[in-house]
């Protein structure tokens, strides 16, 4: 087995979990910890990618370019990357982030819409940075569809394509099939990004590596959207036990988790009812806090909202449907009460 | 009653759906020609079948007929920039369905009268046609600080042109929310959803208000009124639910946000019904053509 490259996305995926409230000080401290521990790639941006500050998602408390700048200035060896979702971000923000100093962009689309990434992957290569394709909600499509979509990204010039389990809905067998299909189809790197809704984030990451994944993602203390991700420190510990030496300092990451990241978190991330319901229904993880809010506002059960979103096949970026579903459930409830 | 001769340039899907809409609605326009470049294309075949004149020589036959007064351009931005010049020289009015935007944006219930003498108008984008009226409905009651719209469209209803240039779509649509809708700043975000069966076009518009006092009932009435105006020419245009006020944290503080949820079901003339995004483009273009045609006839009447 080759040594997978580790990308830490605490400062991107984790921003969902704390409602986009990272400060420049926190970014500097976390980047310093990761950089010194030897993590090679650190992703920093709004949770929804560059320019993600919207009413729909929530606004960054600190403008994200300031956070990215702080990360670029702090990192000594690590590459700073950002996420980019076409339609949320435009070429303008991609250019600006490159001017600040990011060295990689991860272009994320729903896993059937790869052709939308062409404009941006090509631009990234023109700007001479690394371009990674990110196939979100990979549980919704079979391996061969994902491989075809990944192939498109490769043809635009991507350096790597990720299988992204945005809903935390995949089991190890699914991950193996998908990563293997991409490995067979592509001549570039293949990556895997996990969420922990079913308690499988580390297990799935191991399955991906066994299937040949060249790159994997983690977040410190699992600080990511919804049920969180594979903890970066636990990935390193697991790889050490498997005899795969990433050269990353486990002790450094454990200290970072305990001393820097834990105090930022509103509470530990656990697989509670809402997170499990979300993964089980195949709902995008960043919906969690919005679903909780709507459930409270309209006196509904969060699980009911999650189930309906799953049925409607909502994808990334469709947080507006939460309100729509909530209002529909309220109407249904009224109907039932009037029958009673 | 006399009619104004019109032509459609471009025999692709948009041109074909527009053809059926013009034929279906008896008004001031007489569709005399559909012009494409491929004699074997489905669009030209359908034009012949419908008894409409057809040409596979592009704009040539349109320019050759002095009776054609209005031309719908359903080709591409690049092609329109050239056609716009030729049509202008030939004294023909152009209704541009491409993203070229040579002329001003036109959204029928909002600014048609401002541009009634224009010789070239642009139909913005599907999401622009769907959501600009809703932002305008709020801004005519209370100043709009920021407008944001999320357009969710079935993947199958999004053509390669839009897919290769999402930047252009977001920019054009946001511009329309500002220039025509009256917002101070705006964002437009598209989502392409591949769900099966395909979903009907759904738009959510967030309108942030930075005023202490505003009359929500007046805003609601204004939104309902404009929805009715649009539904007169796009029958499948409706609100999914009554507009609500939600308070959200923004860079300008915690502000009241009017949340408007809209859907657009197509008429099913040529496109499937879920493709409300395409339907609203052709239906709006037809509406604009109809108004220019009747304006033209009125002027002729006066001159006599």
Question: Do residues B22 and B6 make contact, with C-beta atoms less than 8 angstroms apart?
Answer: yes
**A115 vs B240: CB contact, 8 Å cut-off?**
no
Adjacent-strand bridge partners of A217: A7
CA distance B107 to B115: 10
With an 8 Å Cβ cutoff, the interface of chain B facing chain A consists of 146, 148, 150, 152, 155, 160, 163-167, 169-171, 187, 189-196, 199, 202, 204, 206, 208, 240-241, 244, 246, 248-251, 257, 259, 261
Tens of pLDDT, residues A274-300:
999 999 999 999 999 999 999 999 999
A273-281 helix and A288-298 helix, angle to the nearest 10 degrees: 110
Maximal CA-CA distance, chain A: 66
> Which of A55, A315, A321 is opposite residue B208, by nearest beta carbon?
A55
Q: Domain coordinates of chain B in residue numbers?
A: 4-123+282-303, 126-273
CA distance B7 to B54: 9
Which position among B126, B255, B278, B281 bears the catalytic label? B126
The two structure tokens encoding residue A295: 């459930």
List the helix and strand counts (H, then E) for chain B. Answer: 10, 12
**A327 vs B257: CB contact, 8 Å cut-off?**
no
Tens of pLDDT, residues B86-104:
999 999 999 999 988 899 9
CA distance A287 to A274: 11
Q: What is the DSSP string of B204-248?
A: EEEEE---S---HHHHHHHHHHHHHHHHHHSTTEEESS--EEEEE
* 3 state DSSP class of B120: strand
Backbone dihedral angles phi then psi of residue B246, each to the nearest 5 degrees: -130, 145
- Torsion sign (Cα): A167, A171, A174, A179: positive
- pLDDT value at residue B300: 83
CA distance A101 to B290: 53
Mutate to test the interface with A, among B152, B153, B194 (most CBs of A within 10 A): B194
Closest C-alpha among A187, A198, A239 to residue A218: A239
Helices (H), chain B: 13-24, 42-49, 60-64, 77-89, 108-111, 126-139, 160-164, 166-179, 216-233, 276-303
Q: CB-based contacts of A248: which residues, under 8 Å, 6+ apart?
A: A6, A37, A38, A39, A236
Nearest CA in chain B to A320: B204
- pLDDT value at residue A340: 54
| B77 vs A65, higher pLDDT | A65
Q: How many CB pairs under 8 A join A and B?
A: 91
CA distance B33 to B44: 10
- pLDDT value at residue B301: 80
Question: Do residues B200 and B238 make contact, with C-beta atoms less than 8 angstroms apart?
Answer: no
Share above pLDDT 70 across residues of chain B, in percent, rounded to a whole number: 99
- Residue range B233-256: average pLDDT? 96
CA distance A170 to A178: 10
- pLDDT value at residue A339: 61
- pLDDT value at residue B302: 78
CATH architecture of the region B126-273? 2-Layer Sandwich (3.30)
Give contacts of A324 with chain B, Cβ < 8 Å: 202, 204, 240-241, 261
> Which of A54, A119, A313 is opposite residue B195, by nearest beta carbon?
A313
Tens of pLDDT, residues B115-157:
999 999 999 999 999 999 999 999 999 999 999 999 999 999 9
CA distance B201 to B185: 24
Backbone dihedral angles phi then psi of residue B81, each to the nearest 5 degrees: -60, -40
Backbone dihedral angles phi then psi of residue A137, each to the nearest 5 degrees: 55, 45
Confirm or reject contact between A336 and chain B (CB < 8 A).
Answer: no
Residue B108: pLDDT above 90?
yes
- pLDDT value at residue B167: 94
Question: Do residues B167 and B121 make contact, with C-beta atoms less than 8 angstroms apart?
Answer: no
B242: Cα within 13 Å, side-chain hemisphere: 8
Instruction: Count CB atoms within 10 A of the CB of residue B78.
Output: 11
Same fold, B4-123+282-303 and B126-273: no
Backbone dihedral angles phi then psi of residue A322, each to the nearest 5 degrees: -60, -45
**Is this complex scored with an ipTM above 0.90?**
yes
Quickly state the pLDDT bin for B52 (edges 50, 70, 90). Answer: very high
Give contacts of A56 with chain B, Cβ < 8 Å: 148, 150, 189, 204, 206
Tens of pLDDT, residues B163-184:
988 999 999 999 999 999 999 9
User: Would you say domain B4-123+282-303 falls under CATH 3.30.1330.10?
Assistant: no
Adjacent-strand bridge partners of A263: none
CA distance A262 to A256: 9
- pLDDT value at residue B243: 97
CA distance A230 to A196: 7
CA distance A324 to A334: 16
- pLDDT value at residue B212: 85
Backbone dihedral angles phi then psi of residue A273, each to the nearest 5 degrees: -55, -45
Quickly state the pLDDT bin for B193 (edges 50, 70, 90). Answer: very high
CA distance B167 to B77: 14
Q: CB-based contacts of A159: which residues, under 8 Å, 6+ apart?
A: A130, A131, A132, A188, A189
Give chain A's domains with CATH numbers: 5-264 (3.20.20.70), 273-339 (1.10.8.60)
Adjacent-strand bridge partners of B72: B8, B95
B173: Cα within 13 Å, side-chain hemisphere: 30
The two structure tokens encoding residue A50: 């560059």
B48: Cα within 13 Å, side-chain hemisphere: 10
Maximal CA-CA distance, chain B: 61
A153: Cα within 13 Å, side-chain hemisphere: 37
> Which of B189, B191, B192 is opposite residue A54, by nearest beta carbon?
B189
- Residue range B39-51: average pLDDT? 95
Please list the helix, strand and coil fractions of chain A in percent, rounded to the nearest 5, in that order. Answer: 50, 15, 35
Query: Could you identify the residue written with the tokens 């700073």?
Result: A80
Helices (H), chain A: 13-17, 24-37, 64-74, 91-100, 118-126, 143-156, 172-185, 201-210, 232-241, 250-255, 262-264, 273-281, 288-298, 302-311, 320-339
- pLDDT value at residue B1: 62
Residues of chain A with pLDDT under 70: 338-340
Q: CB-based contacts of A270: which residues, under 8 Å, 6+ apart?
A: none
Does the annotation count A16 as an active-site position? yes
CA distance A27 to A241: 30
- pLDDT value at residue A336: 76
Give contacts of A315 with chain B, Cβ < 8 Å: 191, 193-195
């Amino acid at each position: 087995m080759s040594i997978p490259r580790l990308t830490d996305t605490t400062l991107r995926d984790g921003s969902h979990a704390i409602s986009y409230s990272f400060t420049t000080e926190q970014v500097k401290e976390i980047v310093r910890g990761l950089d010194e521990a030897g993590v090679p790639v650190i992703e920093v941006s709004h949770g929804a990618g560059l320019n993600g500050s919207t009413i729909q998602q929530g606004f960054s408390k600190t403008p994200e370019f300031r956070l990215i700048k702080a990360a670029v200035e702090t990192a000594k060896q690590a590459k700073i990357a950002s996420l980019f979702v076409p339609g949320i971000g435009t070429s303008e923000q991609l250019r600006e982030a490159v001017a600040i100093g990011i060295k990689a962009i991860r272009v994320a689309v729903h896993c059937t819409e790869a052709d939308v990434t062409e404009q941006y992957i090509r631009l990234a290569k023109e700007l001479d940075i690394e371009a990674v394709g990110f196939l979100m909600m990979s549980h919704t499509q079979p391996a061969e569809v994902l491989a075809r979509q990944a192939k498109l990204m490769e043809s635009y010039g991507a350096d790597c394509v990720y299988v992204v389990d945005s809903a935390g809905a995949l089991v190890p067998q699914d991950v193996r099939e998908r990563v293997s299909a991409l490995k067979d189809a592509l001549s570039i790197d293949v990556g895997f990004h996990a969420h922990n809704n079913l308690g499988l984030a580390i297990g799935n990451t191991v399955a991906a590596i066994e299937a040949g994944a060249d790159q994997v993602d983690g977040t410190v203390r699992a600080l990511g959207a919804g049920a969180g991700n594979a903890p970066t420190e636990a990935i390193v510990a697991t790889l050490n036990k498997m005899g795969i030496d990433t050269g990353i300092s486990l002790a450094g990451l454990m200290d970072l988790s305990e001393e820097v990241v834990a105090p930022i978190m509103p509470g530990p991330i656990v697989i509670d009812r809402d997170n499990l319901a979300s993964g089980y229904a195949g709902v995008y993880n960043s919906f969690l806090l919005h679903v909780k809010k709507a459930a409270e506002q309209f006196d509904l059960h969060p699980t009911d909202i999650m189930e309906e979103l799953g049925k409607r096949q909502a994808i990334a970026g469709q947080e507006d449907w939460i309100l729509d579903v909530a209002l529909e459930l309220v109407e249904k409830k009224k109907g039932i009460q009037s029958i009673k | 009653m006399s009619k104004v001769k019109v032509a459609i340039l471009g025999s692709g899907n948009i041109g074909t759906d527009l053809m059926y809409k013009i034929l279906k609605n008896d008004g001031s326009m007489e569709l005399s020609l559909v012009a494409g470049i491929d004699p074997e294309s489905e669009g030209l075949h359908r034009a012949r079948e419908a008894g409409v004149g057809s040409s596979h020589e592009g704009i040539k036959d349109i320019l050759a007929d002095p009776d054609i007064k209005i031309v719908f351009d359903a080709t591409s931005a690049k092609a329109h920039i050239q056609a716009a010049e030729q049509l202008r020289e030939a004294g023909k009015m152009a209704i541009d369905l491409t993203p070229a935007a040579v002329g001003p944006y036109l959204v029928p219930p909002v600014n048609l009268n401002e541009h009634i003498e224009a010789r070239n108008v642009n139909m913005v984008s599907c999401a622009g046609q769907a959501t600009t009226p809703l932002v305008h409905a709020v801004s005519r009651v209370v100043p709009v600080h920021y407008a944001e719209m999320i357009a969710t469209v079935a993947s199958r209803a999004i053509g390669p042109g839009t897919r290769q240039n999402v930047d252009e779509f977001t920019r054009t649509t946001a511009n329309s929310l500002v220039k025509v809708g009256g917002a101070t700043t705006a964002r437009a975000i598209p989502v392409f959803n591949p769900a099966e069966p395909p979903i009907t076009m759904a738009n959510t518009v967030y309108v942030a208000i930075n005023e202490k006092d505003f009359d929500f009932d007046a805003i609601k009435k204004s939104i309902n009124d404009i929805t009715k105006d649009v539904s007169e020419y796009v029958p499948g245009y409706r609100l999914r639910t009554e507009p609500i006020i939600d308070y959200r944290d923004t860079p300008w503080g915690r502000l009241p946000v009017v949340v408007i949820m809209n859907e657009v079901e197509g008429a099913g003339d040529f496109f499937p019904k879920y493709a409300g995004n395409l339907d609203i483009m052709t239906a709006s273009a037809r509406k604009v053509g109809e108004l220019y045609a009747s304006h033209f006839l009125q002027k002729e009447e006066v001159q006599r």
